[in-house]
Amino acid sequence: MLKTKKLKRIWINGNRRNKIAIKTARKAVKLLQSRNVTLGVDGSFFRFRNKIELGEADAVLVFGGDGSLLHAVRGMKKQLPVLGINCGKFGALMAVDAEGIESRLARIVDGKYSVEKRSRLSIRADNGKELLGLNEVLLGPLEFGKIMRFELFVDGKKRFYEESDGLIIATTSGSSGHCYSAYGKRLDARERKFSVVSLNSFARRVKPFVVSDRVKIGARLHDKGQMLVDGKVWRTVKRMLKVEKARESALFIKAKR
């Protein structure tokens, strides 16, 4: 856990299509202003006369669901502590619920919180530009319904040859989502590991497994494929996918009781 401090400068982001998120965020703004916190709001969320820019904030509040939090983390040049306020149906990554946010937020502003590091993925297709993922990377065939043939390497050593519907490499944050539904190992947030799943293994040779997040994972494709990072960013993979732990972790604020 990282050292915490009172929050004096806060950036606010969220899902503009979610009425509950906007309503809850406006409540939070009133509370924070009453406590002399300097604020800035992302222009895509709602209009506000900003006093700071994102890079000047001590922390970021995200109102919405998991998708909103993933978007916010992806948009940071430098990772800041993030508090997710769940205003939707899916909030596995969110720390608190919208109901009763005023009392929880007051305590957090006063420094009564902890900051948890979450590993992110550094992903490269065919030695191209680095992409960063908080949850997972999904590798699949270029054409729907076709079997994907590939070899998987861990720290340069071949682990197996596989024929399946694809491959998921998930962080602790992503292990409770798509990975878990495909019978992958659900990891505790405090673990420094990746969960790896071959989807619908053709001969059921390969079982889901877990590796340290310090290893480098490579998949060499026999046919052109495609990847999807955190369900949002899509790229073609011609030959090789490389995945390792990103240099900078995501920082999640956890409210103390």
Q: What is the pLDDT of residues 125-183, one digit of tens each?
A: 998 999 999 999 999 999 988 999 999 999 999 999 999 999 999 999 999 999 999 99
Instruction: Give the DSSP letter of residue 56.
Output: G
Which one has a higher pLDDT value, 206 or 195?
195
Residues of the chain with CATH 3.40.50.10330: 9-111
pLDDT tens-digit map of 38-55: 999 999 999 999 999 999
To the query of whether residue 66 is one of the catalytic residues in this protein, the response is yes
Whether 198 shows a pLDDT value over 90: the answer reads: yes
Q: In percent, how much of the chain has pLDDT > 90?
A: 87
Q: Which of 58, 66, 213, 230 is catalytic?
A: 66
20 confidence band (pLDDT: 50, 70, 90): very high
**What confidence score (pLDDT) does residue 256 get?**
77
* Residue 21 near residue 14 (C-beta atoms within 8 A): yes
Q: Which residue in this structure is represented by tokens 């026999």?
A: 222
Sign of the dihedral through C-alpha 145, 187, 252, 215: negative
Dihedral, 9, 14, 19, 21 alpha carbons, nearest 10 = -60
Instruction: Return the CATH architecture of domain 121-247.
Output: Sandwich (2.60)
**What confidence score (pLDDT) does residue 180 get?**
95
**What confidence score (pLDDT) does residue 3 get?**
67
Beta bridge partner(s), residue 252? 82, 116
Among the residue ranges 16-30, 83-97, 137-151, the one predicted with the least confidence is: 83-97
Residues of the chain with CATH 2.60.200.30: 121-247
The CATH number of 9-111, from 3.30.1320.10, 3.40.710.10, 3.40.220.10, 3.40.50.10330, is 3.40.50.10330
Average pLDDT for the chain: 93
